[in-house]
Amino acid sequence: MKTESFRENVSLQVQKCAFSDGQLQVDLMLSNNGDTAIFAISSPRRIEFDQGSGVLHLWLSDEGRKREQMPGVVREISSPPKKALKPREHMVLNIHVPVDITRLVPHDDQTFHLEAIDLTKAEHVEIHCNVDDKPFYADKKETDITKQLAHWGTRLDIKANIDRKNAY
């Protein structure tokens, strides 16, 4: 866990959040006001849409994920793609998410169905982005890669409304 000063030196802002070309485009400005370089996960690891509340969660983070959530599927987990940000600099993370999402829903008998998720119905977006002052390195003594990834970095959260007026 990082100190409060680490968290205070790093900030996230939403520059753009709108539908375009069949995608939801979110431009995030990440600022590093500290004295050391930081690393940030740069693309969504998970996409969760709560149809009831209309909130779309974009997880540039492995927090909150457990193996039990994936009965029967997904063997291989990749390291998160990360971008480095030098001290006292900022950068824009361009996030593109297709509005037509298909989720694999496994059944106990090893069959499945596919669920269609229409992201144009989303009203708000919550972005969760993990940053740290060092990249992720897998620990070979600990085989649960999911747990290791979930503990990497400090999470920054930000909310945004989807700009429908300027969609093109």
Partner 1 sequence: MTIQIRTAPYERVGGDHLGPFEVHPDLVQMHLGVIAMSGTEDLPGSMNTDTDPADPDYLLLEWDPGPQDTTTASGQVRQLLKDMVDSSRDFKLFGVGPGFVWSDGSTLRDGAGGALGSFLFYDVENCEGDGRWVRGVNGEEVCTSSAGILFHEMGHRHLGHPSGFSSEDTDNDERAAVGVENLLRTAQGLVERDPDHWPESSCGCPGSDCCIVASVASGSPYSSEVHALRFLRDYILRTTVLGRHLFDMLHSEYYSFSVSVCRIMLLSPEAKTNVQNWLVIPLIQSYEAARRYACFPEDIAGLGKQVMENSLPDSPVESLEHADLEKGLLFIEALLERSPSTVQNCALDASTIEICDTLKTHLRNCPHITWAIIEPLLAYVETKVQFRGTAQIEDAGLFFKQRMETWLPAIPLRYLLPKMSDTDLLESLSRLSESVFTSSDVRKQLGIRISDTLSSHKRDAITGRLRDMGYL
Question: Cα 69–158–128 angle (5° rounding)?
Answer: 25
Encoded one letter per residue, x for contact with partner 1 by CB under 8 A and - for no contact, window 99-138 reads -xxxxxxx---xxxxxxxxx-------------------x
Q: Which is nearer to partner 1, 1 or 114 (CB)?
A: 114
84 sits near partner 1 (criterion: CB under 8 A)? no
59 sits near partner 1 (criterion: CB under 8 A)? yes
- Is the Cβ–Cβ distance between 94 and 27 less than 8 Å? yes
User: Minimum distance between the CB of residue 2 and partner 1, rounded to whole angstroms?
Assistant: 23
Strands 55-60 and 124-132: parallel
Tell me the backbone φ, ψ of residue 58, rounded to 5 degrees.
Answer: -110, 115
- Residue among 116, 111, 44 nearest 71 (CA): 111
Q: Which is nearer to partner 1, 118 or 163 (CB)?
A: 118
Q: Which two tokens stand for residue 90?
A: 């900022």
User: Minimum distance between the CB of residue 132 and partner 1, rounded to whole angstroms?
Assistant: 16
Among 13, 33, 54, 74, the residue binding partner 1 under the rule CB under 8 A is 74
- In the chain, count of helices (H) and strands (E)? 2, 11
87 sits near partner 1 (criterion: CB under 8 A)? no
- Tell me the C-alpha distance between 79 and 77, whole Å: 7
Q: Which is nearer to partner 1, 7 or 65 (CB)?
A: 65
Q: Which residues bind partner 1 (CB under 8 A)?
A: 21, 43-48, 59, 65, 67, 69-81, 98, 100-106, 110-118, 138, 140, 143, 145-146, 168
